Chain A
């Protein structure tokens, strides 16, 4: 079936630096993508989403970029903080009527002081 995958399993950044987490997707028909953050012992937390009619969307300290030509997403976190340490997933909803998400394998972000 279709899949969503991540390029890097672990990313280590220094506090204050910017982080970039990448994700590739395979379903060219997908028109909506979501980024989630999962801290240890907790469920995935919604960070930001983007629809395919956009190339870029900004939130608080986060920006998601979508390149439909190469089927690639990235999540940029500005001025990374220790509280940003978590596993980050991109997710692709099923293109039908059901609420079914396909998740990438996840990238662990480690923030060093």
Chain B
């Protein structure tokens, strides 16, 4: 069974631009969560989607948004990019979500802002 797939693996953008990241969950998984990983802040939860609905959101500004499609694939969008948005963005999927099952991660998209 294929794992979580994130595209692209690397992105370079400049301040003020916007970016869209893509995540394909493990087949049969309906919950997709997004995390930001930086050396200073560690792994921080961005948001979770389940059945095309955002179910929970972390403490990030509204510039960070996402959506989920009927096939459970998810996209994350960041608008008006700032230097501090440089990070590894990770996507994780689980069968139904909730706090009693593991999430499985992709290898992330490395976003660099110049």
| Contacts from A to B (Cβ < 8 Å) | 31-32, 34, 36, 41-46, 49, 51, 89, 93-106
Contact A93 B99 (CB under 8 A): yes
If A42-B107, A46-B104, A98-B48 touch, does A103 touch B42 (CB 8 Å cutoff)?
A: yes
Once A and B bind, how many residue pairs between them come within 8 Å at the CB atom?
80
* Interface check B58, CB cutoff 8 A: yes
CB proximity of B52 to chain A, nearest CB, Å = 15
Contact A97 B103 (CB under 8 A): no
How many residues of B sit at the interface, in one of the four size bands?
Answer: 20 to 34
* Interface check B68, CB cutoff 8 A: no
Residues of A within 8 A of B107 (CB): 41-43
Dominant secondary structure at the A interface: loop
Name A102's closest neighbour in chain B (CB-CB).
B45
If A94-B56, A105-B42, A106-B42 touch, does A99 touch B97 (CB 8 Å cutoff)?
A: yes
Interface string of B85-109 (1 = CB under 8 A from A): 0000010101001111111111110
Name 11 interchain pairs, CB-CB below 8 A, sorted by A.
A42-B107, A43-B6, A43-B90, A43-B107, A44-B90, A46-B103, A97-B99, A98-B99, A99-B99, A100-B48, A101-B45
